[in-house]
Amino acid sequence: MSTIGILAALQEEIATLLTAMGPDVVTRRIGQRVYHEGQLSGRRCVLVLARIGKVAAAATAVTLIREFGVTVVVFTGLAGAVADHVRVGDVVVAQTLLQHDLDARPLFPRYEVPLLGRSYFDADAQLATLLAQCANDYLGSDYAEEIVSATRDAFGVADPKVHSGTIISGDCFVCDTSAVGLLRSALPDALCVEMEGAAVAQICYEYGVPCGVLRTISDRADSTADIDFNTFLAQVARFYSAGILRRFLMN
């Protein structure tokens, strides 16, 4: 039977799923993280708060794989928009991921992970298709109506869309119009930026475990990104990930 490892960077991003796991959860503390083992929508899951950044995410992914034997890893959380057509409230599902802050030039090409010989790490194609389908279903459902309209009111955005493509990760919160502009020109295929996904994808590649990354856009990675991020996190973040992942787990 498969066991799904679900990780996120912030407590708000796992809170709803943790409640949904109910009282029959076994917790184990390893490396200053608390792993919650139980069932979600009838599937065996291990849910954990990884904390922020690539090191934290990679360490947590390794523990999920080696200590808990998870057969699938899904990272869920927020991201800043990079592509012009990606808006706050949209959902991005990774097809492939890259570490935008990795640069060992002139020894290795920019973005390449030294000695692995690659820059991009692919999400599992089937998982990505299913996550995108579940995101579309959730956003179009009655359950999401209140959240979508709260997001629309708070951010003045149109109805949310689901995008699939490239997610870029790095150990910095991008909060500057020129910095996000540089990312956009250096990596024109990037849809959004966050701080963990590509590290988890690299670990999953190294261990041969299918990986999925699901992100809701909280900000535009510009000069008000911090304010938008905090508003999104406080008001609606907990509903998006949980709504989409609960559908995903039913499949």
Under the rule (CB under 6 A), what is the footprint of ligand ADE?
A: 78-80, 173-175, 193-195, 218-219, 221, 225, 229
Q: Give the H or E element holding residue 95.
A: strand 91-99
Q: How many helices (H) and strands (E) does the chain have?
A: 8, 10
Q: How far is the CB of 175 from ligand ADE (least distance, A)?
A: 6
Q: Count how many residues are written for the chain.
A: 251
Q: Find, among 212, 208, 61, the residue nearest to 133 by Cα.
A: 212
Q: How far apart are CA 165 and CA 7, in angstroms?
A: 20
Q: Is the Cβ of residue 119 or residue 169 nearer to ligand ADE in the bound state? A: 169
Q: Is the Cβ of residue 8 or residue 47 nearer to ligand ADE in the bound state? A: 8
Q: Is the Cβ of residue 72 or residue 193 nearer to ligand ADE in the bound state? A: 193
- Sign for the pseudo-dihedral over CA of 186, 192, 195, 201: negative
Q: How far apart are CA 5 and CA 36, in angstroms?
A: 10
Q: Is the Cβ of residue 175 or residue 190 nearer to ligand ADE in the bound state? A: 175
Q: How far is the CB of 195 from ligand ADE (least distance, A)?
A: 5
140's CB contacts (< 8 A; 6+ apart) are none
Maximal C-alpha separation, the chain: 53
Q: Is the Cβ of residue 186 or residue 250 nearer to ligand ADE in the bound state? A: 186
Q: How far is the CB of 174 from ligand ADE (least distance, A)?
A: 4
Q: How far apart are CA 244 and CA 251, in angstroms?
A: 11
What φ, ψ does residue 97 adopt, rounded to 5°?
-140, 150
Q: How far is the CB of 220 from ligand ADE (least distance, A)?
A: 8
Q: Is the Cβ of residue 216 or residue 249 nearer to ligand ADE in the bound state? A: 216
What φ, ψ does residue 68 adopt, rounded to 5°?
-110, -5
